[in-house]
Structure 1
Amino acid sequence: MTTQPYTCAQHTSVRQRTVPVNVDYERFFSKSAARRCPAALRQTAVYMHKDGYIKMGGGFPNPLTFPVVGAEFKLRDGSVVRMDETQMMTYQQYAMSEGYPDLRHWLIDFQNRVHTPPTFDPKHPGQFDLIITNGANEGINLALEMLVEEGDWALCEEATYSSALSMLTPHAARFHGITADEGGMVTEDLVRVLASWSDLHPGSKKPKVLYAVTSGGNPTGVTWSLERRREVYDVARSHDLIILEDDAYYFLQFSRPLMPSLLSIDVDGRVLRFDTFTKLVAPGLRVAMVSGPAPLLCKMRLQKDVGSLTASGLSQGMLVQLLRHWGHDGFLRHVDGVMEFYRQRAQSATRCAERHLAGLAEWTAPSGGMFLWLRVLGVKDTEVIVHKALQRHVIFVAGTHFTPANQKSACIRISFGTTSEEDCEKGLSVLADVIREEVSHQQQHTV
């Protein structure tokens, strides 16, 4: 496959031709986030990375004690990427919480090329910024901690990423699910819920946050249509919502050109976007990024200052050398190859489902990502089915774990990312047998 060109013109047609609304970011902060102040030692660390200072402030280890003085790694195409002694000393040292400057600069340029966010204008009050995190989950968790507190509600699709659901539990906050279909979140239901909030949840504050997995959704495999993206963004503007755009599978959309992101149409500066190299390079790197308005990212950085501090320096160093080796075009060719790999896996999983599950379940062929979302016919809760399959050494995940409040679900998530076609045949054959047994059992007990 060849990568389609990424230009500003690609996105201008989907932006709203309106004057940006000034977002009052302060109103979105939770009480704990509003109380956050800069950490004194992290403020000192800024100068520890500058030349011309006698550095007697920070507790930085002396690089002369670092045992590793160089490294190289071999790529699948046979090429070798090297890290010299100066680079190794840099990447083994403490860094600023937002990440190493060379990687940040590469990623900022890349985000501007791919998404051309309106907020890239330096005069925009929600001016674009970017921080690097320990995987996308850290970024999402930081954002929710910043924006949500006890008693709050946030909005999401009726089936969404289970880890995000779990992140609200410690804050005694909850998600309200919005109906979704093959085009993404159903705008009419979103409008209905917001308009009737006081009736649906008497005494509860109206949500400030909308969480969305917009490409190759986990668990549904759905990629939102352009129309839905524009409509949902318009609703967010009307109701003054911050959108958390979790887009781990953006480059794993099974068609080109890629759908414009919500970030690319964000004229106000109300979208926090989460990208990760987990699915595109390797999860062990634990490198991801959050892009969006600087006032929000500044507060998230303060949280990192007293938490994880920064993502692994060696991981960041390895990644930036790899990205420099590839360049923008080379990286885009790489992700196209990764996408094609998963597209073929998705087609194989869908064929297996057609052979074994026709008449037992319904599904929509995934438009991206690495999941097939089944709705089993004749049952209301798939927990028993998944448990019985596990006893036969086949692992699936019941749909209940992807629903707000863990409601009963007739759905099952199937992951095809690491499964061979042979194992897929075996696994779905077992699933078909278990479904027949459970449906028969339920029918016998309802006679």
Structure 2
Amino acid sequence: MDYSQFKTEVSKRRRTAPTRELTKIAYSAPMELISLAEGMPNEETFPFTEISLKLIDGSSFTLEGEELGAALQYIPSQGYPPLLQALRELQRKNHAPPLWESRDIVVVSGGQDGLSKALEAIVGPGDPVLVQDPFYTGTEVVLSPHKAELIPVAQDAFGVDTALLREILKGRRAAGKKMPKIMYINPTGANPTGSVLPLERRKDIYRLACEYNFLILDDDPYHYMYFTDEAPKSFLSLDTEGRVIRLDSFSKILSSGLRLGFITAAAPLVASIEVHMQSSHLHAPTISQVIVYNLLKIWGHDRLMEHFRRIRVFYKKRRDVISALAKKHLHGLADFTIPSGGFFLWIKVRGVKDTWRMVMQRGVTHGVLLVPGAAFMADPSQPCNAIRASFAKASYEDMNSALERFAKMIRAELSTISNNNIENGEV
């Protein structure tokens, strides 16, 4: 596939930084090579001599000597080589991607960084982008400065409506409009709705990508946090043409403070992202990469998968608790669908056309913070009666208090609306 058709003019004009390329050579060269090329500080000047970490299962490891020196040093922009190899093996085992030899991986500074780098390589000023509606706010933040044309595709309880997607694409082609180069999708535990896209819909979306020649940016930080009976099958596992840019993050499954994620995509697209990194922050945090590599080495694949199973059980229980509390406190006031994955409950308030003012003005007064639904819509200027509540971190007691306060906030808003209607003679 010719990936140049998908890249922006800025992306095409980027050039590799010679010093970054020399760093890459130095890491892969034979031991007898003596390098005077890089501007690396001497490890003897670092004030750290040892870093010890203990894992949740009681196992531990210590970074010292040469390994600690490497963890505190510059590395190639693509990532810490041992970690890259471990991630390649992880993707091969978990997704069995077709065309594996033509793909590559780049480590990024968390999912948001990967999202930004991937979109900015492909989306230019005014370019149309397909987005699920509602969708993750961090995507809009990236796209907005480029004045991208967002093409919203409505969702139901199972995610993107693929029949509607086909009609949208067919209509744009018939009207001679510019066709999208990429679709952004968050298929598992979608933020903010919590839906998990069924396999048949994933296949439908992939078929449409092939038919209408666009890429799929598969933003999947909750891939291992599904509450369905079967594990979701990734877009990467379906990708027979090299159209998928898969974005994984360690933030939700290991630690958000590590600031690590990784992109799996066709090698030319990974190369574009790597060059972009060379012009910005050089590479994701080395010490975080070395920590994750050691964890993967100690645990191995089976123990890592067991960790993911444990956190699924953990979050599923929290999902069940907040759903029961919402049913108790919001009965007659709001509607919601029990999420199939992720961190969030998407609640639609009855009798309130737009929750923005209610949440932003009454929230602090009532002692509860929520996110108004308009923040997640492709057109945030339009009224939205939804809010997003996270069940990931708050204690069960706080969840109960928050939803109790939210119910009082809704009642206060409904009372205000009713009084305003009476004053305006609308009742």
Range into which the TM-score falls when normalised by the shorter chain: over 0.9
Secondary structure, in 3 states, of the residue corresponding to 2:265? strand
Instruction: Report the equivalent of 2:20.
Output: 42
Return 5+ residue gaps in structure 2 as ranges: none
Secondary structure, in 3 states, of the residue corresponding to 1:431? helix
Instruction: Report the equivalent of 1:392.
Output: 366
Instruction: Report the equivalent of 2:236.
Output: 263
What's the offset of the Cα at 1:104? 0.6
Is 1:235 matched with 2:235? Answer: no
Contact map agreement 1:214 1:245 (CA 8 A) in 2: yes
Instruction: Report the equivalent of 1:286.
Output: 259
RMSD of aligned C-alpha atoms?
1.4
Instruction: Report the equivalent of 2:60.
Output: 80
Instruction: Report the equivalent of 2:89.
Output: 109
Is 1:416 matched with 2:391? Answer: yes
CA deviation profile, 1:365-420 (whole Å, cap 9, x unmatched): 01011100011111211012212122222110000000113132111000011111
Counterpart-to-counterpart distance in 1, 2:166 and 2:113: 30
Quick check: 33-42 or 338-347, which moved more?
33-42
Matched letter for residue 399 of structure 2: C
Instruction: Report the equivalent of 1:439.
Output: 414
Counterpart-to-counterpart distance in 2, 1:108 and 1:162: 29
What's the offset of the Cα at 1:441? 2.3
Contact map agreement 2:21 2:76 (CA 8 A) in 1: no
Q: 35, 42, 48: which is aligned to 1:55?
A: 35
Is 1:157 matched with 2:132? Answer: yes
Matched letter for residue 391 of structure 1: T
Query: Aligned runs of 1:316-355 on 2, under 5 Å?
Result: 316-355=289-328
Instruction: Report the equivalent of 1:7.
Output: none
The percent of aligned pairs where both chains have the same amino acid is 34
Contact map agreement 1:215 1:222 (CA 8 A) in 2: yes
Counterpart-to-counterpart distance in 1, 2:229 and 2:269: 32
Counterpart-to-counterpart distance in 2, 1:72 and 1:133: 24
Matched letter for residue 210 of structure 2: R
Q: 182, 188, 195: which is aligned to 2:157?
A: 182
Query: Aligned runs of 1:368-407 on 2, under 5 Å?
Result: 368-387=341-360, 388-406=362-380, 407=382
What's the offset of the Cα at 1:53? 2.2
Matched letter for residue 335 of structure 1: F
Counterpart-to-counterpart distance in 2, 1:198 and 1:172: 21
CA distance 1:256–1:90, change in 2 (3 Å): farther
Instruction: Report the equivalent of 2:141.
Output: 166
CA deviation profile, 1:166-208 (whole Å, cap 9, x unmatched): 1111212132210111221101111111111268xx7852111
What's the offset of the Cα at 1:422? 1.2
Counterpart-to-counterpart distance in 1, 2:215 and 2:269: 10
Instruction: Report the equivalent of 2:117.
Output: 142
Counterpart-to-counterpart distance in 1, 2:49 and 2:389: 44
Q: 17, 28, 34: which is aligned to 2:6?
A: 28
Contact map agreement 1:183 1:228 (CA 8 A) in 2: no
Matched letter for residue 174 of structure 1: E
Contact map agreement 2:315 2:343 (CA 8 A) in 1: yes
Instruction: Report the equivalent of 1:95.
Output: 75
Secondary structure, in 3 states, of the residue corresponding to 1:156? strand
Contact map agreement 1:47 1:53 (CA 8 A) in 2: no
Counterpart-to-counterpart distance in 2, 1:384 and 1:356: 21
Contact map agreement 1:276 1:288 (CA 8 A) in 2: yes
CA distance 1:375–1:148, change in 2 (3 Å): same
Counterpart-to-counterpart distance in 2, 1:131 and 1:290: 5
Contact map agreement 1:252 1:368 (CA 8 A) in 2: yes
Return 5+ residue gaps in structure 1 as ranges: 1-22
What's the offset of the Cα at 1:79? 2.3
Contact map agreement 2:367 2:405 (CA 8 A) in 1: no
Matched letter for residue 59 of structure 2: S
**TM-score, L = length of structure 2:** 0.95
Secondary structure, in 3 states, of the residue corresponding to 1:326? helix
Would you say how many aligned residue pairs link Structure 1 and Structure 2?
418
**TM-score, L = length of structure 1:** 0.91
Matched letter for residue 43 of structure 2: P
Counterpart-to-counterpart distance in 2, 1:383 and 1:305: 40
Counterpart-to-counterpart distance in 2, 1:204 and 1:236: 17
Counterpart-to-counterpart distance in 2, 1:119 and 1:310: 26
Counterpart-to-counterpart distance in 1, 2:61 and 2:22: 33
Q: 185, 191, 207: which is aligned to 1:218?
A: 191
Matched letter for residue 10 of structure 2: S
Counterpart-to-counterpart distance in 1, 2:259 and 2:390: 21
Contact map agreement 1:390 1:396 (CA 8 A) in 2: no
Instruction: Report the equivalent of 1:16.
Output: none
Secondary structure, in 3 states, of the residue corresponding to 1:405? coil
Counterpart-to-counterpart distance in 2, 1:363 and 1:422: 21
What's the offset of the Cα at 1:308? 1.3
Quick check: 218-227 or 55-64, which moved more?
55-64
Instruction: Report the equivalent of 1:10.
Output: none
Counterpart-to-counterpart distance in 2, 1:257 and 1:114: 14
Counterpart-to-counterpart distance in 2, 1:301 and 1:145: 12
